[in-house]
Every structure is written in structure tokens, then in C-alpha cells.
Amino acid sequence: MAANSSTGSATEPPGLETQWREIDNLNQQQLRAGDSWYLLDKRWYDQWKEYVHAGDQNSSSYPGKIDNTELYEDLESYHLKERLSENEDFVLVPAEAWHKLLSWYDMMDDQPPLERKVVDLPSTVKVEVYPVEIYLCLSSNMESTVSACFSRADKIHAIHQKIRQHLNVSETAESRLWMRSTDTSSERLRNLNMTVLDACLSSGMTVIMEIRNADGTWPTSRPQIMRNSADEDSYRGPPGVCGLTNLGNTCFMNSALQCLSNTPPLTEYFLRNSYLEELNFTNPLGMKGEIAEAYADVIKQMWSGRHYSVVPRVFKTKVGHFASQFLGYQQHDSQELLSFLLDGLHEDLNRVKKKEYIELRDADGRPDQEVAEEAWRNHLRRNDSVIVDTFHGLFKSTLVCPECNKVSVTFDPFCYLSVPLPVSKERVMEVFYVSLDPTAKPTQYRLIVPKAGRVIDLCTALSQATGVPPNQMAVADVFNHRFYRIYQADESLSCILDRDDIFVYQLSSGCVDQEGEEVVMAIYMRERSHYRDYGSGSNSYSTSLFGHPLLISVPRAQCTREDLYQLLLKRLARYVRPLDPSEEVEEEEEEDEEELYKAQTNGVSDDEGEEDSEEAGPSKKEEETQESSQAKEQNNCQSEASPSSEGEERAEEEESSSEPDRGSSTEEGQSASGSTDTNSQDATDGDQSAGVEPSGKEEEDEDEDEEEEEEAASCAQANKRLPGRRRYTERQKKALFTIQAVNSNGTTERGMGEADGGFSFSSQPYIAIDWDPDMKKKYYNENEAEKYIKHQSMDVPHQQITVQLQECIELFTTVETLEEENPWYCPTCKKHQLATKKLDLWSLPEVLIIHLKRFSYTKYSREKLDTIVEFPLRDLDFSGFLLKKTVNSTEPPCRYDLISVSNHYGGLRDGHYTSYARNKDNGQWYYFDDSKVTYAREEQIVTSAAYLLFYQRQDKIRQPSVPPPVPSSSQPENHVSSQTHDGMDGASSCVSMETD
């Protein structure tokens, strides 16, 4: 720019001595960072000094107009020559001296002034003679660049404005800058208040301006693989009516984002780009503006009206980066995410750049109005942002010492109200009652029990319905056909979840214990496969659990196999068909395979390893394949032990009949009892180690003579070690099933006890009823076994507790005593006290967030409260809850209207979040379920799933600018396509995860 174009003609200079004195004095000033100094050609400056020192205004040494021609490379670009030296080629004068000389002598036409900045470098402060020359361009046309020079002390904002001027970019267009040092590397220039020096910009680098697209995305991050998104490019929907793709258990985040997106003052703040001027990059409590920018990107896309659904992947990544608890894809609480996000946005947009320390003062008897105003002023001295403007209110906290009655009053800001729900002291539980009557089907009851009660309370409630004494009941959790847990009478009911299948069994007598006359047995149903399981390294038959288990009390004297068999046969009479007399015997050859199975499954000893297995207890996993590990050679012994002639059979029968009775009345009973001598296990173990081939082939395939001789010898030895087993007769009595002692999982088989066929138990006994598949199919009625009846208590509809929102707010303001984990330090008593505390609302914000505390956590229990909270959609009046009463007409009203709701469906361990929200532009309510968006009616909004409520003060609610759409039969209810658009990280997704 020509000098005379800005300064006009030179003014009348003062006297020569005055000129020298003024300029010389100004040249003595110190360099200060940010000040401007100017370059003067050394020859012209020396000529001027000679002129003023001569003292003759008519002297021939008059310097004429300021002329810096010798400092330029050429008079077209006016670039400064390289390697110019101070006091040899030029001199530096401060801005004030320059302007005086310019006003006295003017400057050569078209020459620009050589203004330079003082920069504060790490080691020195100096005038920056050679500025940074940077190339400027737009991301849409990176081939066309213009160059411009900037001081290292200039702000990035100056570069931003220079690009707008040189490249004709509208002031209203939202843009962002990128710094590119190489052809492949670019870095975002986020902080426009950062200097060129701090941003590490150097000459030759390029700064690129990127302008946001109309659909809210940025050109550099628009996915390139979605070139088939013509439908989305042409889509024009209501702004804000946009889904959010579930990235994997991120419905909690989507729900909170939808509620904030439909908070008018906050969304309009971002859509107006007001946040750009308030980004705080230096706040140590903030996130360098990154959370605010990531949130702004999501909002701008959602409100562009160009997308069915947006993929908030970059936002999710930023959240996880600054809050590690949200890393990964686990389920989280939407209220926790909302709390983090509001705090993060506040710190990123905090207008207070340097927070001062403020010591909090107690009221000390001062009036509430005075203390409240002081507290709010102090809060704004450290916290001033759009979040404070929109969401922050003030409540009064009153603490009273129980010992000295010291009263402490403080006023504290809040961002949301966490209000408790009235907690019922009772609980509804559903159980299945199994009677002693074998012909009676299980009955399902619905009982009301104390929430903090014990198992005996459950039995007492059931006793009132059945007439059976509580001490004759056993309570168990059944899972996967086994007992997951058998409860003791004094255990807390909080151990039982609503989703557990609880069975209550009637016992024949009360007060049963391990040392008493009766023992409680857990009975499992098992079915063995048709084939041996050779692949597992054993040749035993695999087994699997089925049906419902039983708990029965048995006299200890009747714990023999025959007695148990008859007892169980009677107990299962409802769904197990007994044998006809004609079916009770069968040919020996038909029994061979059955006898083989019985011998191999009943020869397991009770060792310490199995005790460990039992103590480990059951686990709720998928049903495991049941196995019984037996020796291959004992199987051979079993098949070869059958007498080959009738004479041998009789001889063996006579021999066995001369022995004392072993406690089994039939030969079938003997074979079912199997081996009771632990020596048989020793023989089996030896055979297993010597005779089982890794290949898993059957014994019939082994025809080597030596092996056959060894097998015969082993069989003879094994038969000698089976004193409780009779030799086979020609015809044998048949049994429906066999009985096997097992561990609590029903997987590992245990020892048989004494040799007389009785069981001996050192802990809770578990018995398996083992069924041959053919026998089970013929005699076991599965349909009948699964049947149950519903008691009339099940027909009474479960009455959900309904409370008013006002009741919850009243609970919030109720006096409570501090917990032991959180005492208050009394300044008078000089010790921690369990003081009483009362919270009262003093002032409310424009948008009030109410958090319904549905998740209850105590020392003894964790639960989710499904209480229906009836909250008004309009005219929620807080005037009755505010301590600060309206004193004049300028005070804002206390009436609020609902604008959005975050819902949680499910329980503590799992669940799904959705949201309802009222669009700020058309006033229509919508239901947001991740990427799905549907119209919603007002009567649908109040449910037991409501978790977060967003209310806006009525005086701030704007009337809809466009009429709400009217759903019609021609318009699909679900108008959000499965297409999604990820305009943030260069990736796209066409898969919508609708649930967590």
C-alpha cells in the first residue's frame, strides 16, 4: 500500500533540533513483544541525521521523501532483500518515530511501509525483520495458492481473516484451518488465538481453509466409499429428526445426545457458531476444545436435514480419550455420560481463562439472599459458559451438628437434580412350589415378602398359601436342570434376583440336618447316550441332564439302593410309567449291554479329588457333556463274566446264595449297586493305564493273543474283588433306571458308600437318576413332567407402584442423616459428625434436568426400581419448592414444559436406552431408538422406563417456526432408512445395531 494513500501529504515539520530530540528519545525505548517497529534505509536515515545536525533547513543535505528502494529485491513484489544487516543496510525505529518521520517527510509513491513486529523468542526479544511467508489456499482448490507474510507474534486468527479476504470466503461460512508441512502430513489449527510462533508455522508452509458442507460434514472427512449415497444426498428431512447409529452398546450415549440435541438454547448456540469464539484451549480442567468441537460436529450433522442417521464414531473416540471409563464398548449409564459431557463442554467453553482461588464462606447468620448472591458471584468468577447459562441453578445446603447444634448454611450450584424414588419395603416374588404328593403338579405362586427379609420369610409367606409349615420347605435356585444354589433359611432375599427360577420343595419333616434321622437329597435326571464316548480318552457312556431336579428328605436308614429306587419310583409316579408284570424280566442276552453300563458306571471310588469337585459348587454355564470314566478291561470282564453253561450258572448261584445278604433283594438291584469295594477301582485304574488305546478303538477290534490272555486274567481278578455282585442267572429282574452318586454339578460320579448298597454322605448328597435312552422314551413322559399349574395369586395383575414427580422432589428436600462413610467436620466440635442435612432449591436454570435415581445401591442390595413416575408434560410448577420467593415482576416464572426424556429398559446387568424428544422447530414429539426415528404421541411418553427428564422454562420456549408434520397412512411410521452416514472419520456403516 502506498504511503501517501494513507497519510496524505507531509505536514509542516518542527525545527531541526526538535526533530532530532524527539526521534532520538523515541529510539531509546525498550523492545516489547507485540510492538511494531519499522525498517528505514540506512542511507536515507544517515542523510536525515546530517540534515538535522546541520541546522539549516535550506541545506543541500535535505533527505527528501523516505525511500527504501535499496532494501527491496524489486519494485513489483516489494520483497525484502535477503541477508540485510541492521545498521549497515537499515535501521529500526519504533512505530511512533516512524509515524512522525512519515508525517514530516512523506514516502515514495507505491512503496509499502516495512512494518515489523517485536517477538518474544525463547532466548531473546527482538524485532522480526524477516516475517513468516505462508501459502494460503482452499481445500476445494489446493492448486491455487496465494502467499502472505505474517509475524510470528500474529494470531492464527489473522491468517484466518487473510484467507477470507484473499480468497473471497463469506464471513458466515463456518471453516477450519489445517497446517501442511509436507505433501502427506497435515495438522489441525484448532486454537485461533495461538500465535504463529506457538503453532510452529515457518516460511514455505501451506495453510488450508476447509469450509463445512451444507449437510454438516467436513469435506476432508466425508467418506469416499459411499458414492452410492444419492438418496442421502438428496434427502431433505426435518432438521434434528436424525438417528444415531449404535456402535456397539452405545445406546446410553445416543440417548443422552438426543436429549441434549433437542435442548434449544444449547443447540442454537452451536448452530450459530458462537462456540468458535469461546473455545478455551488453555483450561487445565478442559479438553483443549476437542470435546466441544466433536459435539458441534455431531449436532451440525443432525440438524442439517441431510441425514437419516449419523455415526458418532469420532465423538465416541474423543469421549473415551478423555474419560477412560467410556473406552471400549461396554454398557454404561446415560446419566454418567451426560454428567461428563456437560462438565467437559463447560470447561472447553469456559469464558474464564484463568481461574482465581476463592475461599468459601459460611453464612454465619447472614440473610439467605446475601449469601446466595455472594455464592453465585463467586461461582461465575470461576465458571462462565453456555452450560452455566443454560443448566446451572443454586440450592441451599443446611447442616446441623447433632452434638453442639451448630448450623452451617452454604449455597452450592448444581447442573441437574438427582431425585430419589420412594422405595417400597415389600417385594413381589414368583416361586414354584413342589408338593410331597407325587400326583400333584408344581404350582406357581406370586408372594409378597419383605424386601430386606430372609429366606425363612419367603417360606412363611408360602406357608400361608399352602398350609405347610415353613420348616418343612427347602428353597433352591434351578438353572440348566441342576441346583445353582440351595438356600439356607437365614440367607438374605437380596441374593435372589427376579429373573431366577426359584423352586420351593416340601420335605417330609422339619429341622432336617446332616446329623439327624433324615437327610435331604438333591436328585438330578440324567440320560446316557447310546454310544460310548471314546473320543474323550474314555470308553464310558456320556450323560446329559434333563428335566427338573428334586429335593427330598429320606430317613438315613433307608439310604440303600433298593429303598431309594422304590422311593424315587413312587415320587416320579406322575410322569414315569411303572413296569407291567410281563415286562419285569427279560433274556440275559438283552441285559448284557445294560449290565455292562451298570458295572462301568458304578465302580467309582470316593477320593479327595472328587471332594474338591463337589466343593467347587455349580456354575451357571451351558450344559456340559456328562461322562463316567471307566476301564476298558472291566467292560470286557463284565461281558465275559457271564457263565457259558447252565451248570456253571447254577453252581455260581448256589455259591453266591451261601454268602450273607449284602442288602440287595434282587439280582438287578445287585447289578445296579455295582462295585462297592474300593479295590475294584484300583484294578480298574490299573487296567485303564494299561489297556486303553489312544486311538479309541473298541475291544472287539483287538485280536492279539497276548492281550486276550491279559484280559482274561484281569477279569478273573476283578471278579474276585466284587463280593457284592451276584453271578448272572438265566433270567433277570428289570429296573427302569440306575442310581448314581454325583457331585453338585451332576457331572462327576462319586463313591457308593458301604458294601451293603447304602450311601454314606459327609456333605450335601447329590444323586443322579440315570436313564437308558430307550427306557426313557418308553416310560418317561416328558410333556407331563414339564406341566405345572398357576395359583390364583398369579391371576392378580402385578400392581406397579405409581408416584408423582412432585413426591420425588419432596424426598429430595427431606432432612436426612449423613452416612458413616461421609461425615461432616464440625468447626465447633472440631471432629467429624453424622450431621443432619437438608437441601432446598434456591434458584432454577433455564433448562432443568431431573435424574430419577432408579438404580438403588446399598450395602445389602442392588436393584433397579421400575416405579412409574408420573411427570407432567406441561406446567410443572416449582414455585412451591423454591425458598427464594418472587419479589418483583422481573423474576422469571417457575413453570416448565417437558422437552425430552431418556429411557432405560431392562435390569441392572443389561438394558437398552432410548429417548423421546420434542423438536424445537416444529413442536412434534419423536421417539429415538438409535438409528430409528418414529413419530410419538404424548400419551406414550410417561412410562416406567423414564430415567432423565429435560424441562425448559416456559418463558424461554419459542413457538414452532414450522407446523408439525401429520403422520398419515401414506407416510411410513419409521422414516429412517438403515443407511447411515459417518461424516466424521472417513468410514461409513450400512448396518444399524438396534439393541445392546
Cβ neighbours for 101, distance < 8 A, ≥ 6 positions apart = 23, 40, 48, 66, 93
Number of H helices, E strands in the chain: 25, 42
Strand intervals (E) in 907-991 = 911-918, 925-929, 932-935, 946-953
Query: Could you give the C-alpha distances from 549 to 7, 482, 555, 776, 884, in angstroms and in order?
Result: 103, 6, 19, 16, 64
553: left (phi over 0), alpha (psi -120 to 50) or beta: beta
- Specify the DSSP class assigned to residue 665: S
- DSSP secondary structure string for all residues of 75-139: TTT-PBPTT--BTTTEEEEEHHHHHHHHHHH-B-TTPPP-EEEEEE-SS-EEE-SS-EEEEEEET
**Which amino acid appears at position 892 of this protein?**
P
**Cell numbers at residue 719, please?**
471278579
Strands 502-506 and 541-555: unpaired
Catalytic amino acids?
Answer: 251, 912
C-alpha to C-alpha distance for 781 and 484, rounded to whole angstroms: 25
C-alpha to C-alpha distance for 447 and 427, rounded to whole angstroms: 8
3-state SS class at 600: helix
Nearest alpha carbon to residue 951 among 421, 419, 332: 419
- Over its C-alpha atoms, the chain yields an Rg (Å, rounded) of 44
Residue 485's beta-bridge partner residues? Answer: 477
**4-37 b/e (C-beta count within 10 Å ≥ 16 → b):** beeeeebeeeeebeebbebbeebeeeeeeeebbb
**Cell numbers at residue 928, please?**
429415538
Task: Report the Cα 675 to chain-centroid distance in Å.
Answer: 55
**Cell numbers at residue 438, please?**
407325587
Angle, helix 42-54 to helix 16-27, in steps of 10 degrees = 130
C-alpha to C-alpha distance for 598 and 608, rounded to whole angstroms: 23
**Helix (H) or strand (E) run with residue 21 in it:** helix 16-27
Cβ neighbours for 138, distance < 8 A, ≥ 6 positions apart = 144, 163, 167, 169, 208, 209, 210, 211
Q: In 229-363, which ranges are continuous DSSP H helix?
A: 230-234, 251-261, 264-271, 290-302, 313-322, 334-348
Under 8 Å between Cβ of 898 and 941 = yes
C-alpha to C-alpha distance for 416 and 503, rounded to whole angstroms: 44
C-alpha to C-alpha distance for 185 and 178, rounded to whole angstroms: 10
Residue the block writes with cell 441451599: 396
Nearest alpha carbon to residue 84 among 35, 33, 39: 39
Residue 566 CB: number of other CB atoms within 10 A? 12
Task: Report the Cα 100 to chain-centroid distance in Å.
Answer: 68
3-state SS class at 425: coil
Q: What is the largest CA-CA distance in the chain?
A: 160
Residue the block writes with cell 460310548: 532
